[in-house]
Structure 1
Amino acid sequence: MKILVVGSGGREHALCRALARDPRVGSLVCAPGNAGTAELAEPRPLDVADPDAVADLAEAVGADLTVIGPEMPLVTGAADEIRARGLAVFGPSAAAARLEGSKAFAKEVMRAAGVPTAASRDHTEIEPALADLDVFGPPYVVKYDGLAAGKGVTVTEDRDAAVAAVRASLRGPDDRVVLEEYLDGPEVSLFAVVTESGAVLPMLPAQDHKRVGDGDTGPNTGGMGAYTPLPWASHGLPAKIVTTVIRPTVAEMARRGTPFTGLLYAGLALTTRGPRVVEFNVRFGDPEVQAILALLTTPLTDVLSGRRAPVWRSGAAISVVVAAHGYPAAPRLGDPIRGLAAAGALAGVDILHAGTRREPDGRVVSAGGRVLSVTAIGSNLESARGSAYEAVSRISLPGAHYRTDIGDPSRMRHAADVRRTDVASGEDPAGHRKKE
């Protein structure tokens, strides 16, 4: 098979890495790609926001399958255009991609499907939105309704910051803001492949770390690291999420005449009342997918097509993001990256590129806010974590920063303490049924 992977980040490098190991795959194209994907796949220039350009490229390269990585081409209809030309694509239609493209729409679908989520209200005008802030907070949760590259969410105890977030979300005539109740408890990411027949194939649950600083401090980012599996979570968690979240959502989308196929991501908080959906995405999440695919033993094309359920190797995986100076506010670009070969020489380590490019003189330099995803596997999380941070220590990028607490055992103990309900049974540890 010839596969076209659309995108240029760490997610796309992880997809290319997994596809390169797939015996069904003969060649890869990654557009536009980065310095890392270019070692595995033919790079091609591409405006990913232009659906016609994406479909044109799929035709031009003779792709047997196009795998769309980022949300923008999905929301703008690239999958629709590819299918209209009789070509195979992994990704939902633009109508189904509204689950990520509009947080207000996702809430509407969840309410109709009976999916547990935070109470919310959405607004198009500033004054009613500001009046509603105190209904939900503090902590205040303010979300820009549309796409914001994972950074359109403000969670704060500071009312002035919440007011500023509301105003920033409602700058244009078509803007909308969503206000939500705050959900307590650790967050979990679950990806599920949804086939055209409606089959749901869940993947390993993972935990992402969105805040830029250790201890979940500072502003939200696109994600600073992730690990899988989750030793503190119930073994029944994926099945429960499929039953209470994924299947009802898929059924509701079909009822609306916009069936969902592709990858549905549920970001959840494990609250004292049970799992609650924080958000939906309609593509693999970055950096969770880097860790998850590192443990996949099933050929990825078999999973994406629904031919086989995913099978996982034992052990654990972790991904640590190395970010550029100034990220997330104003990342500095063009800094040289050194030590990549030394870091990648460690056993069980993959250096997955995100915001990088190769200069004509052969140097690899930073070209985005999140520059690298240093991913490692090990017999357990402690082993994987040690390898990942050893690899990070071998990399030199002026002004770079990264979190030092990804997969920290003390954070897991805290997560286990917060997760008071057994998510598989709805009972607390003493066996008492919880009340909603």
Structure 2
Amino acid sequence: MNVLLVGSGGREHALAFKLSQSPLVQKIYCAPGNGGTARLGENVAIKDDDVSALVHFAVKHGVGLVVPGPELPLTLGLANACRDAGIPCFGPTEFCARLEGSKAFAKEVMLESGVPTAHFAVFDDYAQARAFIEEKGAPLVIKADGLAAGKGVAVCETKESALFALEQTMRDKRFGTAGERVVVEEMLTGEEVSFLAFCDGENIAVMPTCQDHKPVGEGDTGPNTGGMGAFSPASILPKADYPAMAEATILPVVRHMRALGHPFVGVLYAGLIMTASGPKVLEYNVRFGDPECQPLMMRLNADLAEIMLACCQGRLNEVDIRWKPETAICVVMAAEGYPRDYPSGMVISGLDEAEADERVMVFQAGTKVSGGATVASGGRVLGVTALGENLSGARERAYRAVDRVRFEHSYCRRDIGKKGLKWESSSQ
């Protein structure tokens, strides 16, 4: 069958990498794609938010499966439009995608389904939100309700910083219309972990845990980004605890959405924080994380296309999903200045040299092919991903590969996975 993969990041290159290994897949189209997806299929000049053009292309080219990578096309109803056209789509409907598209909606679902989360209040009036913060004090977390590319959350240690974040979000429109409504919630402390599951509307299959690194600077300093690296598994949540965690954080939402008449199909991603009083959900995403997808695809030892089709057809429980026992880690190489202003157009070299190690893949994100060369075109440029027998071995291999890749004004964190080493050493 032909597959239409929607998106242009490192996540999409990783999905294309895994889909290309399936005997079910004849051709991969990627809209709009990047320099990496162009190696595995055909890039199509359609933006990921142009739902009608995506569906029209899928019908015209006999696409048998649509795979949305980012959240935006899902919140715009791509799965609904595919369903109306009779095309399987591995992703939730517009209603279910509100779990990510609206933080207020997600919090309400958590409250109604009994999922442990932070205490919160929702405001669409600036004066009322300000009065609440003045009365409540700090620490608090201010969240733009809508999509803000992973950057709409402000963790505020003081009342002054909370009021400043509120003003930036609601009055200065830093995140556009996404900040017209805000969620103000208690600040939770602890280590974060990403817990994802394949879903077919009723059945789920959990994936190995991951740990993301959001801040741009080493030691988790500086502004938040889309993610500077990730590793899997995250030993802070042992495999033996997966069933209980799924029962507490994934299954209640799947059951709730089904009861509402909107079965959830695709990937449900719970962003957890391991607090002193137990795990709690910070947020839900309705797709693979980026960069969490990269190490997960390196570890997946099963047919991704088969899994996705089974989810679309409500038979996930019939598929055997296996994972490699190794650890995988992704180190993001970004353009200097990201997530603010950054240069572009730099020629990238050393990709083949890095991938000479068969346990390394360089997933391209902000890249394009120009004049026969691969050049940087975005903030997060590459995701150098490696497998190892353990976390320390995977880190060593990944950073060795990073040093083989070269482009001007490149930057990466040199401490990706470091905080996971303490769990590794404690289990030995």
TM-score, normalised on structure 2? 0.93
1:131 & 1:138 partners in 2: Cα distance? 13
SS in 2 for 1:279: strand
Tell me whether 1:189 sits opposite 2:198 in the alignment: no
Q: Pick from 312, 323, 327 the counterpart of residue 316 of structure 1.
A: 327
Tell me whether 1:119 sits opposite 2:123 in the alignment: no
SS in 2 for 1:18: helix
1:81 & 1:416 partners in 2: Cα distance? 49
SS in 2 for 1:95: helix
1:162 & 1:251 partners in 2: Cα distance? 35
Tell me whether 1:413 sits opposite 2:417 in the alignment: no
CA deviation after TM superposition for structure 1 residue 133, in Å: 2.7
Aligned to 1:432: none
Change (3 A) 1:221 1:137: farther
2:66 & 2:404 partners in 1: Cα distance? 35
Give the residue type in structure 1 aligned to 2:151. K
Q: Pick from 379, 384, 391 the counterpart of residue 374 of structure 1.
A: 384
CA deviation after TM superposition for structure 1 residue 363, in Å: 1.6
Compare 87-96 and 336-345 and name the one that shifted more. 336-345
2:136 & 2:362 partners in 1: Cα distance? 41
Give the residue type in structure 1 aligned to 2:182. V
Aligned to 1:203: 207
CA contact (8 A) 2:118 2:187 kept: yes
Taking the TM superposition and a 5 Å limit, the aligned residue runs for 1:255-404 are 255-304=259-308, 305=310, 306=316, 307-359=318-370, 361-404=371-414
CA deviation after TM superposition for structure 1 residue 235, in Å: 2.5
| Deviation string, structure 1 residues 175-201 (Cα, Å, up to 9, x no partner) | 1011111111111101111104x1111
Taking the TM superposition and a 5 Å limit, the aligned residue runs for 1:136-175 are 138-171=138-171, 175=180
SS in 1 for 2:271: strand
| Deviation string, structure 1 residues 132-175 (Cα, Å, up to 9, x no partner) | 33566633311110001111111132544332321222146881
Gaps of 5+ in 1: 418-436
CA contact (8 A) 1:204 1:292 kept: yes
Aligned to 1:230: 234
CA contact (8 A) 2:13 2:363 kept: yes
Give the residue type in structure 2 aligned to 1:167. E
Change (3 A) 1:232 1:250: closer
Taking the TM superposition and a 5 Å limit, the aligned residue runs for 1:64-143 are 64-133=64-133, 138-143=138-143
CA deviation after TM superposition for structure 1 residue 315, in Å: 1.2
CA deviation after TM superposition for structure 1 residue 416, in Å: 9.9
CA contact (8 A) 1:232 1:413 kept: no
Q: Pick from 251, 260, 267 the counterpart of residue 247 of structure 1.
A: 251
CA contact (8 A) 2:138 2:162 kept: no
Gaps of 5+ in 2: 311-315
Percentage of pairs with the same residue: 45
Compare 376-385 and 167-176 and name the one that shifted more. 167-176
Q: Pick from 180, 185, 188 the counterpart of residue 185 of structure 2.
A: 180
2:59 & 2:192 partners in 1: Cα distance? 40
CA deviation after TM superposition for structure 1 residue 406, in Å: 1.1
1:107 & 1:375 partners in 2: Cα distance? 33
| Deviation string, structure 1 residues 363-415 (Cα, Å, up to 9, x no partner) | 2111111110000001111111111101111112222211111111x554289
Change (3 A) 1:310 1:179: same
1:139 & 1:367 partners in 2: Cα distance? 38
2:320 & 2:151 partners in 1: Cα distance? 32
1:22 & 1:97 partners in 2: Cα distance? 27
Question: What is the root-mean-square deviation in Å for CA atoms of aligned residues?
Answer: 1.8
CA deviation after TM superposition for structure 1 residue 321, in Å: 0.5
Change (3 A) 1:176 1:384: same
Change (3 A) 1:178 1:415: farther
Aligned to 2:313: none
CA deviation after TM superposition for structure 1 residue 244, in Å: 0.7
